[in-house]
Amino acid sequence: MLNFVWFRNDLRLRYSRVLEAVYKQSLKVIPIYILDTKIFHSEETSPFRRTFLIESLVSLKKALQRYNSTLVVLEGSPKHVFRQILTRYKIDNLYYSKDYTKFAKKRDVEVRKLIEENNGKVYAIKNLIVFDEEDNLLNSNNAPFKVFTPFKKAWLQKLESNFQILDFHYHIKEIFVDSSIIDDIFKGFDNLVEIDRLVINQKNDEFHGGEDEASKVWNDFKINQIERYHNNRNFLDFDGTSRLSPHLKFGTISPYEIVKFCFMNRRNKGIDTFLSEIIWREFYKYINIYFPHVETENFNSQFNNFPWEFDRDKFLAWCNGQTGYPIVDACMRCLNQTGWLHNRGRMIVGSFLCKDMHIHWKEGERHFKEKLIDWDKTSNNGGWQWVAGTGTDASPYFRIFNPVLQSQKFDPEGKFIRQFIPELSTRTQGIYT
């Protein structure tokens, strides 16, 4: 009997609904990660994101080794890899975290069909968000929410009455197959990947992948920043954010862990504000579940015929931080150089592209996908449609971010601008225009 846990964007051992489900069935599982090279080496995959993934996989493998197990990394498409395994062995049970994008659903349907045709069982476990469609989080008309504020209210009420869902009961040491057995099973597989030997071409020294690193970042944020988060989160020249977004993207930290702490301490305004940001993440995945057309179309169809313009020279100037607007250019250079950008910066450059240049939000969405270390399909799409005014937004078209006023308010001394625009580093006046 061979049982597998298929790690994907849940690269952790703690606070995992998948591992809890395995433990409750008293199973021993082989941990596997499938490196889909078409995605991994794609031009649309940020090199910073690629590096963060490698570091996270190395960290997960080391964590499993502490329990006398190991991580099997196989190269290829998921369907091909599982078909390859099935030529040698029967897969009795396969566990993985439920995912919600069109791409993920299609991939998972193909794998499920393959396993079940070979008399195996597949378990997709809710593990990426607190509530999904199975929880029937709906409005008074029994329809999905379309606006954040009432969604948040209902989400908090549901959590209040179901707080036990944030508790976990399992022992990691009792879950995984020993590494010596795993090594024998996969002997002769020519697509085994030595993850420790993968070349890292580009990295950001401020972000490191892995569950232990995620815990350090989270603990540091709780100790030093979270209680003042509501005051500091918007400043570009001050490190007042959590820096947890890439860890949430790859699942090296669990949203359950974060939500539990924040919900229990939400009387503090900073913590309550941070909890709202986590709920925004839940909201965008919720929107993707109930309105999957948002992945490729406007959420609000009334903007389908909007006369967007596309000037390639202007777009490239935006991409390269050469628009002539210091705060916009500093933000874009920050993104290009580090793979990360403050959320306030994302709103500023997004508004500038869509509302000032009149360039379609899809162009910005695509560029962010190529650059961001924390790119997530639902959050990236939701953010872009929000700033473009085509998404779930009560004030869609008349919200425009003035780049000069934004820089004066959120980079009051021009430190952020000077950091990323060296040609302005010695200027004492006129830094914003």
d(CA 319, CA 335) in angstroms, rounded, equals: 9
Q: Residue 398 above 80 pLDDT?
A: no
- Please tell me the predicted confidence (pLDDT) of residue 294: 97
The reply to whether the predicted model has a pTM over 0.75 is yes
To the nearest whole number, what is the mean pLDDT of the chain? 95
The reported pLDDT for the residue numbered 397 is: 66
Asked if the model's pLDDT at residue 202 lies above 90, the reply is no
pLDDT of residue 396: 65
What would the two tokens of residue 103 be? 């791409």
Q: Give the pLDDT band (50/70/90) at residue 283.
A: very high
Show the tokens assigned to 343: 């959320």
Question: What is the average per-residue pLDDT within 231-259?
Answer: 96
Range name among 134-143, 161-170, 389-398 with the lowest pLDDT average: 389-398
Asked if pLDDT for residue 156 goes beyond 90, the answer is: yes
Given a cut of 90, whether residue 196 has pLDDT beyond it is no
pLDDT reading at 41 higher than 90? no
- Rounded to an integer, the average pLDDT of 268-273 is 98
User: What is the structure's pLDDT at 399?
Assistant: 84
Whether residue 428 is predicted with pLDDT greater than 80 in this model: the reply is: no
Three-state secondary-structure class, residue 94: strand
Q: What are the residue ranges spanned by the domains of the chain?
A: 301-424
Segment 266-284 shows an average pLDDT of 98
How many angstroms separate the CA atoms of 137 and 153, rounded? 11
Q: Which fold has domain 301-424?
A: DNA Cyclobutane Dipyrimidine Photolyase, subunit A; domain 3 (1.10.579)
Q: Which helix (H) or strand (E) holds 381?
A: helix 377-388
Task: Report pLDDT for 394.
Answer: 62
Query: Are 20 and 175 a contacting pair, CB within 8 Å?
Result: no
pLDDT interval class at 200 (50, 70, 90): confident
pLDDT digits (tens, 9 = 90+) for 124-150: 999 999 999 999 999 999 999 999 999
Report the pLDDT averaged over residues 184-193. 96
Under the banding of pLDDT at 50, 70 and 90, the label for residue 248 is very high
Distance (Å, rounded) from C-alpha 19 to C-alpha 210? 17
Task: Tell me if 417 sits within 8 A of 424, measured CB to CB.
Answer: yes
Give the whole-angstrom CA distance, residue 386 versus residue 365.
12
Specify the 3-state DSSP secondary structure of 415. helix
Mean pLDDT value of segment 216-240: 96
The answer, yes or no, to whether residue 175 has pLDDT greater than 70, is yes
pLDDT, average across residues 410-414: 94
**E-assigned strands of 190-255?**
none
Q: Is the pLDDT of residue 343 over 70?
A: yes
* The pLDDT of residue 261 is above 80: yes
Residue 235 pLDDT class (50, 70, 90 cuts): very high
Task: State the CB neighbour count (10 A cutoff) for residue 251.
Answer: 23
* Mean predicted confidence (pLDDT) in 166-184: 97
Q: Average pLDDT in the 72-91 region?
A: 97
pLDDT digits (tens, 9 = 90+) for 304-317: 999 999 999 999 99
pLDDT of residue 431: 83
More confident residue, 98 or 394: 98
pLDDT of residue 371: 96
